[in-house]
Amino acid sequence: MILHGYWRSTAAYRVRIALALKGLRYEQVNHDLRTGAQRDAAYLTLNPQGLVPALALDEQVFMQSGAIIELLDELHPVPPLLPATPAGRATARAMAAVIGADIHPVNNLRIVNALREDFGADERQVQAWIARWIGEGFAALEPQIVGPFALGDAPGLVDCFLVPQVYHAERFGVDLSAFPRLVAAAEHARALAACQAAHPAAQPDADPA
């Protein structure tokens, strides 16, 4: 099993958390998004979208973090990352999608670079853009957090998405004081050894501290 990623990619971070929660061993091949390494021809043959993460498994390559995490959950169902009931699974998927479909896509590196390069946004405007979409998404999630983890007593799919998004918010100085339940759930998950092992700073391609 080979995970193609980048240390600071929140999408790759999600998959690392899932792999660690499952106790699965894997190799890492890292692509520096700042240099455009994800658009190299060799990588595009594996992942035509030219994004990370991608998971190579059994001579197949799987794209998109949510799909990868659910694949891992089906192949290795213990411990489960989704609730036992259909309603619970739908709730977990919806909460994860708030981050994966509504917050992350408008705040990732290629969008932020486009704001700077194509529209002349300065860093204050970029910060405001990031804070706006994180704030709107987190406001929707806050009342749905049931704790101590994002969706109950055990870490799962939502935590795989939430922990990296809180990391991203903190990295850009977003004020999270309006979301105490969400922050508490993220802190609870971040205390796990699995989340610590998946942290960007713990990755082999991380910038020196």
Residue where a domain stops, chosen among 79, 97, 119: 79
Calpha distance 40→33 (Å, rounded): 11
Q: What is the CATH number of the domain that holds 190?
A: 1.20.1050.10
Query: Phi/psi class of residue 208: alpha, beta or left (left: φ > 0; alpha: ψ in -120 to 50)?
Result: beta
What DSSP assignment string belongs to 119-138?
H---HHHHHHHHHHHHHHHH
The DSSP secondary structure of 3-60, one letter per residue, reads EEE-TT-HHHHHHHHHHHHHT---EEEE--GGGTGGGSHHHHHH-TT--S-EEEETTE
Q: Which helix (H) or strand (E) holds 2?
A: strand 2-5
Residue 111 and residue 74 share a domain: no
- Helix 157-171 vs helix 86-97: crossing angle, to nearest 10: 20
| Cα(199)–Cα(100) distance, integer angstroms | 18
Whether residues 33 and 130 share a domain: the answer is: no
Residue 118 counted as domain residue: yes
Kind and range of the H or E run holding 62: strand 60-63
Which domain covers residue 187, as residue numbers? Answer: 86-195
pLDDT in tens, 95-153: 999 999 999 999 999 999 999 999 999 999 999 999 999 999 999 999 999 989 999 99
CATH of the domain at 50: 3.40.30.10
Q: Are residues 58 and 128 in the same domain?
A: no
Of 55, 79, 103, which closes a domain? 79
CA 120 from chain centre, in angstroms, equals 27
Considering the domain architecture, whether residues 152 and 169 belong to the same structural domain is answered as yes
Asked if 92 and 158 count as a contact pair (C-beta separation under 8 A), the reply is yes
pLDDT band per the 50, 70, 90 thresholds, residue 209: confident
**pLDDT tens track for 12-60:** 999 999 999 999 999 999 999 999 999 999 999 999 999 999 999 999 9
Last residue of a domain, one of 15, 47, 79: 79
Number of domains in the chain: 2
